[in-house]
Amino acid sequence: MVTATSNPAKVGTALTVRFRVVRMLTLVLPMVILTALVLTAIFAPLLAPYDPIKTDLIHRRLAPGMAGHLLGTDNLGRDILSRAIFGARISLTVSLAVILITSFIGTVLGILAGYLGGRLDAFLMRVVDVAMAFPGLIIALLLAAIMGPSITTVIIALSMLGWAPYARLIRGETLRLREVDFVAQARINGCSTFRIMLRHIFPNVINPLIIIMTLAVGSMILAEAALSYLGVGVPPPEPSWGNMVADGRNDIDRAWWISTFPGILIGLVVLSGNFFGDWLRDKLDPRLRQL
């Protein structure tokens, strides 16, 4: 009598195929969404069907699909699709600027602390501990409220403490690398400290740096949206996904689309960034590639 468990090879093959299909979906879909985000941000003026800040009180709160407005209009008659397209440009600009600033500061401090060690390492790590002890969004909210809402304010506010995780990660990698043979050989050959850090340490911390930068895309977009939602981020009438959600919070019962569509976009981008970062970590980490 033949049973379903009599051929474990077929069962194992089927499970392997399913696993690969799921893994590809968690890669392909995030890549499609993130690519669409980048292209939308670049070509926003060509893609937007209407002026994102032009008001039209005659066509207020139009439901999706009415009068040529695919995603409807908000409480001032502005086209939601056009505002979402330009909002992608603002969200991507803010997140990339913050990630570049924080990763640069964190990488420099992490390599200095890890390679030089001693009192400098102890001092920098205590600063990192203090920075990571404070809630970053609360500090960003306070700073943005003091400086006034603007894109520059959001970038500065999110960069204030955002460098700390980078510094801790890079410092740990540097502590491991400074004991390896090629670094010791470079010291024996008379290479300067700066040259060793730049030519031997930094290239070997790029992989973990890229991973944490990728994973930070979603969190930075979410943080920018939170600040804009609270009214201390991107100032109106400039479109931001966060202030678009805030625009519709009082009309959610009669005009649900005003807040729903930008909220969906925020969720999709954050999830895509996390999935893509996980996949990238699996590919770049040699220990995980062997699993």
Q: Residue 13 has what pLDDT?
A: 64
Pick the range with the lowest mean pLDDT from 135-149, 157-171, 239-253.
Answer: 135-149
Say which residues have a Cβ less than 8 Å from residue 72's Cβ, sequence separation at least 6.
Answer: 61, 62, 63, 64, 65, 66, 80, 255, 257, 258
Query: At 101, is the pLDDT very low, low, confident or very high (cuts 50, 70, 90)?
Result: very high
The C-alpha atoms of residue 165 and residue 103 are separated, in whole angstroms, by 9
For 199-257, how does the pLDDT look when each residue is reduced to its tens digit (9 = 90+)? 888 988 988 898 888 888 888 888 888 888 887 888 888 888 888 888 888 888 888 99
In this predicted structure, the answer to whether residue 69 has a pLDDT above a threshold of 70 is: yes
Q: What is the pLDDT of residues 8-66, one digit of tens each?
A: 655 556 556 666 666 666 778 888 888 988 898 899 899 999 989 888 888 888 888 88
Q: Cα separation of 148 and 152, whole Å?
A: 10
Is the pTM value of this prediction over 0.75?
A: yes
> Rounded mean pLDDT of 257-274?
89
Query: pLDDT digits over 167-213, tens only?
Result: 999 999 998 888 888 888 888 888 888 888 888 889 889 888 988 88
Inter-residue contact 40 to 85 (CB < 8 Å): yes
User: Region 128-142: what's the mean pLDDT?
Assistant: 82
pLDDT, position 248? 86
**Phi and psi angles of residue 79, each rounded to the nearest 5 degrees, phi first:** -70, 125
Q: Residue 274 pLDDT > 80, yes or no? A: yes
Task: Determine the pLDDT at residue 107.
Answer: 93
Residue 220 neighbours by CB under 8 Å, 6+ apart: 94, 95, 98, 99, 158, 162
Examine the pLDDT at 2 and tell me if it is beyond 50: no
**What residue ranges define each of the domains in the chain, with the CATH number in brackets?**
93-252+266-289 (1.10.3720.10)
Rounded-to-integer distance, Cα 61 and Cα 52, Å: 15
HSE-up of 171 (CA within 13 Å, CB side)? 24
